[in-house]
Amino acid sequence: MRPLTDWPAVAASLLLGVFTDIDDTLTTDGAITHDALAALGALKAAGLHVIAITGRPVGWSMPFAAAWPIDAIVAENGAVALVPPSAPGDALSKRYLQDAPTRAANYARMQQVLARIEREIPGAVRATDSPGRETDIAIDHSEFVHLDEAQIAAVVALMHAEGMHATVSSIHINGWYGDHNKLEGARWIVRELLGRSLDDEMDRWAYVGDSTNDQLMFKTFAHSIGVANVARFVPKLAHLPHYVTQGERGAGFAEVAAAVLAAR
């Protein structure tokens, strides 16, 4: 990882948009900071697309999608998109990657896996935001409950044994059925919202994140940036971000925005 100050200004000046994780990237101690919220607004005001991609559930994400200055939130690791209303009085738009019968079948299977995890792995409990989840399940490991590395590995292994995809964020272990992930969610929302191909313009987007469930994005985006608290996960990352901020969490995201705006 190179310091963010090594990021070429010419590359930052050509960006079309910024994708960002939410927990421990935009948020600090569970809430978005004033500087991070102002940074989102400044990027939007400068004409960039701003899209958050998170493992958080769609229900948890809805008030933020309606209030933050962003183009969309892609929730549940790429499965659901929330698009703010385009005009006052319009409703928030909810869009799904999977069709309704697939979601219903997967939901039933996932509830069985969730019950099995809680039954068989001591200390493992569902995340408190689980009622807002529609296309995945989540086990808390660092938000309100602490699981050690062996417990986290056991949850991931059980999810895999049940045929699920599994990722570990800074706070949760997420599991789901389907081939989506943060990268596929990013590709989907660019097609869905902008009518364009992300792969054709990958060098004109940046990604900001902080943990192991961001590493596919770190690998894929030439302009991938970790906020400083990514250091916690570096020993577990097969793919590191190309650049790293000095500040942690929301302050780190604000650094990224300042670098982009200074280059324009």
Domain definitions of the chain by residue range:
2-97+186-263, 100-176
Instruction: Pull the structure tokens for residue 74.
Output: 């892609």
Domain 100-176 has CATH 3.90.1070.10: yes
Burial 105-135 (b: 16+ CB within 10 A, else e): ebeeebeebbeebeeebeebbbbebbebbbb
Site of tokens 């280059």: 263
Fold classification of 2-97+186-263 (topology level): Rossmann fold (3.40.50)
Quick one: pLDDT at residue 241? Answer: 97
- Give the DSSP letter string of the chain: -EEGGGS-HHHHHT--EEEE--TTTTEETTEE-HHHHHHHHHHHHTT-EEEEE-SS-HHHHHHHHHHSSSSEEEEGGGTEEEE--SSTTPPPEEEESS-HHHHHHHHHHHHHHHHHHHHHSTT--B-TTGGG-SS-EEEESSSSS---HHHHHHHHHHHHHTT-EEEE-SSEEEEESSS--HHHHHHHHIIIIISS-GGGGGGGEEEEE-SGGGHHHHHH-TEEEE-GGGGGGGGG-SS--SEE-SS-HHHHHHHHHHHHHHH-
Q: Using CA atoms, how far apart are residues 185 and 54, in angstroms rounded to an integer?
A: 10
Q: What are phi and psi of 91, to 5 degrees?
A: -90, 155
Q: Using CA atoms, how far apart are residues 116 and 129, in angstroms rounded to an integer?
A: 18
As to burial, measured by CB atoms within 10 angstroms (0-12 exposed, 13-18 middle, 19+ buried), residue 145 is: middle
Q: Structure pTM?
A: 0.92
Lowest mean pLDDT among 172-176, 236-240, 252-256: 236-240
Using CA atoms, how far residue 62 sits from 25, 57, 81, 244, in Å, is 18, 9, 10, 29
Pairing between β-strand 72-75 and β-strand 80-83 as defined by DSSP bridges: antiparallel
Quick one: pLDDT at residue 30? Answer: 87
| Percentage of the chain exceeding pLDDT 90 | 94
Lowest mean pLDDT among 26-35, 81-90, 190-199, 229-238: 81-90
Q: Using CA atoms, how far apart are residues 168 and 91, in angstroms rounded to an integer?
A: 32
Quick one: pLDDT at residue 90? Answer: 80
Express each pLDDT in 60-116 by its tens digit.
999 999 999 999 999 999 999 999 987 777 889 999 999 999 999 999 999 999 999
Q: Using CA atoms, how far apart are residues 140 and 42, in angstroms rounded to an integer?
A: 33
Express each pLDDT in 141-183 by its tens digit.
999 999 999 999 999 999 999 999 999 998 999 999 999 999 9
